[in-house]
Structure 1
Amino acid sequence: MGEYSKALSSFERSLEIRKIALPPNHPDLATSYNNIGAMYSHMGEYSKALSSFERSLEIEKIALPPNHPDLATSYNNIGMVYYNMGDYSKALSSYERSLEIQKIALPPNHLDLAQSYNNIGAVYFHIGEHSKALSSLERSLEIRKIALPPNHPDFAQSYNNIGMVYDNMGEYSKALSSYERSLEIRKIALPPNHPGLAASYNNIGMVYDNMGEYSKALSSYERSLEIRKIALPPNHPGLAASYNNIASVYNNMGEYSKALSFYERSLEILRESVPSTHPHLNWKNIIAKHRGTKVLRSFTIRQQLAAIGCIILCCFSCIECVKISSCAKWNRTGVTIAGTGIAGSSAEQLHDPTGIFIHKKTNILYVADYGNKRIQTFDLNKLSTTGNTVASLTSNPHKVFVDDDSNGPTIYISLPLSDHIEKWVYGATSGVPIGDACFSCLGIWVDKEKNLYTVESSRFRVRKWSPQTNNSTVVAGRTDLNGSTPDRFGLPDGISVDETTGDIYVTDYINNRVQKWAKDSETGMTVAGSDFTSLSGPSCVIVDEETKTMYIVDRHNERVQRWLAGASSGDTVVGGTGRSNSSDQLNEPRHADFDSKGNLYVSDAWNHRVQMYTLIDNEPCRTSAEGLIVRPPNPADLPLGPYFQFITTDLEKMQWIGSILVCRHIGFDGPKIEFTADVKIDYDRDILYEDLFGMCAYRINLYIEIPPDEGEEKITWKTD
């Protein structure tokens, strides 16, 4: 019935009586503590559950033989509490101690052994030790095949758990086979509308979702939802998960109005079923608690709202959800989205992540995991912190770039120690070298024509390789000549290509600057940095093709800087508070990228993690300008202040006719202009462009009369 508080009260009353009637270490006292611990565990009060289970174990150690099955039960219960608390190392230790005792005390094919192997497999799954998890789960299945009838529900659990491991390993065909076998058994062993069937359909849907087979994923998710509508209360969180998953598929299919409808329904249920203090409303806790979970994928209310907002924006712009303002602000406290902060090789860990790339169409984060010689992916839609290895390499990767081909995303990887670029087509199990040899290859870029740009740091140049001609040309730098002059690099690293102009932006690591090379130019120009205080070891540059704003990873200053076009200095958007591992600090950041919502991601190499910084303010910049008008005989074409230039001058009448060009975001009112002068001034305003990349361009026409005897500097102007 689930009335755990009443049961707890009864068990505590029983314990009080037994304390009076029995010796202090009687086995029945251990039973009472065990029962109390079980109730606390059901209620989610794990510290109290742990205390009770440990007290039970203390008594059993005194009252029972060292290998009694009850001791195994106590170790198992303690392991379950640690598992629920997320302390997997202690959970594993307790589960293994339980198994040791069971191997001695029980027959070799006892079902308790099967459950222990299952539990151990679950821990290995959560810590990313997939091969060990698979071994334990398969041993559990072997025992059950001997001890149970052929269609027992426990088989369904085994096949389901094995499927989860294969799913996280990216072996989707094996995962699908296991999930379908689990479903077959549940169809026989369970009632037609049992929640277990809904879970199976949901898991099958998630595999198809991961495989990009969205129509099949949708069918499975919808069948899961049908069962949950019958089996669960109308506002059960499981329904919210189903609506959310269906919305995600519609979003991937580009059917944004349907996606929006299902996201909104999911959000309604969460609002009604989950209190504001519930941990599911904290997305960090979701990552920790449901790490790797395939049965329930529920988003927080905050995430649901963000997803809905993204869908609304995508209805108007299907290329990117958010155009980032040059005055945007991000939360300076980052959230670890990949890696644990400790170097390691498990699916949840990273070791010196260098390059990152976010594939906007799928919202998948690709990480060049340098120390582990692999490319890891993390699904940002599911907020899974368990990585999937999509490329196992023989050399350490530095940067990764993902491009779309007809079959799916294609991965390009720079391998500086092997002096080449590898190309991994979608679904491949190995990569092939592409282009010419790339000596100490760091940055890479692939343009719309599939031309490959490679940064060769040891030869101080950038080359462009054409797949059509199979030829390479040097497009920046001087081959084998380093230096600090405009035509040379000290050590080139990151690259960004402005495909609207063909301009190439390269971070010059040793010279502490970013160089822009115009298309077909033989020399570059410094557009950011040149000294240690402004930039120190820049390793990555991202260029907004509309505004030409640059976002630069300032490696040795532990920050990301924003440099506006033409600026002489930048402003720090994240980091810059010292080198450490706290959430607002970085330690040797190497690369950055934005997701479709405008959130900023940074590879924090020496903290072995990738940090996400949420976009919190994307208001457009408010423009303002002011200037000074100087009368003739100055040249008539003299630019006077920002956006200001006279176009004609009538010297006989001493009348100037000119104009001011002011650009203002379409969401704001037209500009107002003020003059300070003792002379006659008239002006009017007309609109040149109503919507030019989100900006409205106004021309303000001026008519100014200046008496011949007036001095030079008589008129000032200012716009709001």
Structure 2
Amino acid sequence: MFKKLALNLLATLLVLNSALIAQYSVSTFAGSDSGFVNGSLTQSKFSSAFGICIDKNGNLYISDSGNNCIRKIDTQGIVSTFAGTGEVGNKNGDRLTSTFNSPTGICTDDNGNFYIADFMNHTIRKIDSEGIVTTIAGSGEPGFADGYGEEAQFNFPRGISIDAFGNLFVGDSWNHRIRKITPDGNVTTYAGGGNEIGPDSKGSYVDGPSSQARFFTPCGVACDVYGNVYVADALNHKIRKIDNYGNVTTVAGTSDPGWNNGGFSDGDYKSAMLNTPTELCISFDEEIFFSDTFGNRVRKINIDGTVTTIAGDGTPGFSDGDGVLSKFNYPRGIVLDNA
């Protein structure tokens, strides 16, 4: 039995294969140099690919941020444009004529709907199972406000995940908060706070009850089957957990907050150092896989709390092969399939 992890780099989709003894190998799954080309896996090109998700049929969907669209890789290995024209915009309607502005996070539900964090539009978009794109939250202007639908405001929403009840959780990066969107469109602040917002602001680091907790540019979010929400708290260089009672704790990472303060060390979660983790996913047995983006590595938090590196030697570059000997260039989106 093998596990496969799919990872987005700036222009290339990589796959990690793992036997149960947890030895990983890296291979290029799709893409080459930067561009916008559909077709076969080897012919295809992406530009600043960020979020990635997988549907129940095994198709992959990628937020191709630099191309302002959503791409699809079907189970036959054909790459196509699923939504967006490639032009910058915020047009709703048919998925093939809709427009986006640097989409980042993406997730899907069991009904064939997709949800996108439209980063530069400061909105959350939906592509329903009929292929219609709508804006479900966000006014389109950067800011901070809770409320229903377009009454709400986001500040560069980055990651997005959905729970078993249809609630969406968003890493509202430059509001330094985790936001929740209920199925009826009500946007609330799920965790985090503070007075500073915007790209020039500085978050902080505090564990505790959700209203008192503090984040610093939270990016990727992932929900587990128990109702916990995990956060890649990028500029705190930590992985955080919000349990279903609203308590925020640190799962891994000891580096000081701020730019250029990340580090690298594996080991116990209390001493491990991370370097700007941005995206994460969770296995059924509660292992956490994350892209340690500025560390140019893919790492794992085991169920015993130890942090290990499964791929990447830490130097930016591009090479396939044995996991820890391979090279990545600021890896971001990550997803785990069931193979």
- TM-score between both structures, scaled by the size of structure 1: 0.27
Match in the other structure for 2:150: none
Consecutive unaligned residues of structure 1, counting only runs of 5 or more, are 1-406, 618-720
CA distance in 1, matches of 2:243, 2:111: 30
Match of 1:473 in 2: 80
Corresponding position: 1:425 with 2:3: no
How far residue 504 of structure 1 moved from its aligned partner, in angstroms, is 1.2
Q: CA deviation at 1:438?
A: 2.4
1:447 maps to which residue? 55
Matches within 5 A, 1:112-511: 407-416=1-10, 419-427=11-19, 428-435=23-30, 436-468=44-76, 470-478=77-85, 480-486=86-92, 487-498=98-109, 500-511=110-121
Q: Which amino acid aligns with 1:543?
A: I
Judge conservation of contact 2:178–2:191 (CA < 8 Å) in 1: yes
Cα contact 1:537–1:556 (8 A) shared by 2? yes
Secondary structure at 1:598 match in 2: coil
Q: Which of 177, 180, 200 is the aligned partner of 1:559?
A: 177
Quote the Cα distance in structure 2 between the aligned partners of 1:599 and 1:501: 22
Identity %: 25
Letter in 2 for 1:474: T
Runs of at least 5 residues in structure 2 that lack an aligned partner in the other structure = 31-43, 93-97, 145-152, 196-202, 208-212, 247-339
- Cα distance, 1:610 vs structure 2: 0.9
Asked if structure 2 preserves the Cα contact closer than 8 Å seen for 1:539 and 1:553, the reply is yes
SS in 2 for 1:431: strand
User: In the TM superposition, what whole-angstrom CA distance separates every residue of 1:39-63 from its partner, at most 9, and x where no partner exists?
Assistant: xxxxxxxxxxxxxxxxxxxxxxxxx
Measure the CA separation in 2 of the matches of 1:616 and 1:497.
Answer: 25
Q: Which residue of 2 aligns with 1:524?
A: 133
- Superposed CA deviations along residues 396-416 of structure 1, whole A, max 9, x for unmatched, are xxxxxxxxxxx1321111111
Residues 122 and 138, structure 2, Cα contact 8 Å, conserved in 1: yes
Distance in 1 between the 2:163 and 2:237 partners?
28
Residue correspondences, number:
204
Between Structure 1 and Structure 2, whose CA radius of gyration is higher?
A: 1
Deviation per residue, 1:164-185 (Å, 9 max, x gap): xxxxxxxxxxxxxxxxxxxxxx
Partner of 2:230: 601
- SS of match in other structure, 2:56: coil
1:582 aligns with 2:211: no
Q: Deviations over 1:17-39 (max 9, x none)?
A: xxxxxxxxxxxxxxxxxxxxxxx
Counterpart of 1:572 (choices 189, 195, 201) is 189
Whether the 8 Å contact between 2:218 and 2:234 is mirrored in structure 1 is yes
Shift of 1:449: 2.2
Q: CA deviation at 1:462?
A: 0.7
Q: In structure 1, what is the Cα distance between the partners aligned to 2:6 and 2:242? A: 26
Question: Counterpart of 2:25 in 1: which secondary structure?
Answer: coil
- Cα drift, residue 614 of structure 1: 2.4
Cα distance between partner residues in 2 of 1:438 and 1:504: 20
Q: What amino acid does structure 1 have at the position aligned with 2:191?
A: V
- Give 1:506's aligned amino acid: I
Counterpart Cα distance in 2 of 1:599 and 1:544: 9
The one-character-per-residue Cα deviations of 1:192-245 (angstroms, maximum 9, x if unpaired) are xxxxxxxxxxxxxxxxxxxxxxxxxxxxxxxxxxxxxxxxxxxxxxxxxxxxxx
Which of 158, 161, 185 in structure 2 is aligned with 1:542?
Answer: 161
Cα offset, 1:615, TM superposition? 2.0
Deviation at 1:602, TM superposition (A): 1.1
What is the identity, as a one-letter code, of the residue corresponding to 2:122?
N
Letter matched to residue 536 of structure 1: N
Query: CA RMSD for the aligned pairs?
Result: 2.0
SS at match of 1:615: coil
Partners of 1:512 and 1:464 lie apart in 2 by 23
Amino acid at match of 2:4: T
**Match of 1:518, as an amino acid?**
D
Residue type at the aligned position of 1:544: D
Question: In 2, are the aligned partners of 1:527 and 1:566 still within 8 Å (CA)?
Answer: no
Deviations 1:509-562 (A, max 9, x none): 0111011012352x41011112322211111111235x4321111111111111
Partner of 2:274: none
Superposition deviation, residue 606 in structure 1: 0.6
Contact 1:423 1:434 in 2 (8 A): yes
Give, in whole Å, the separation in 1 of the partners of 2:100 and 2:228.
31
Report the alpha carbon displacement of residue 573 of structure 1 after superposing the two structures with TM: 1.1
* Counterpart residue type for residue 519 of structure 1: S
Cα distance, 1:451 vs structure 2: 1.1
Residue type of the alignment partner of 1:492 = P
The 3-state SS of whatever aligns with 1:616 is: coil
Of Structure 1 and Structure 2, the greater helix share is in: 1
Q: In structure 2, what is the Cα distance between the partners aligned to 1:429 and 1:551?
A: 30
When residues 613 and 543 of structure 1 are mapped into structure 2, their CA distance, relative to the original with a 3 A threshold, is closer
Matched AA of 2:192:
G
Secondary structure of the residue that 2:80 maps to in structure 1? strand
Q: For 1:514, which of 124, 131, 134 is the aligned residue?
A: 124
Give the Cα separation in 2 of the matches to 1:456 and 1:505. 14
Q: Which amino acid aligns with 2:7?
A: I
Amino acid at match of 2:81: V
Query: Does structure 2 retain, via aligned residues, the 8 Å contact 1:475–1:520?
Result: no
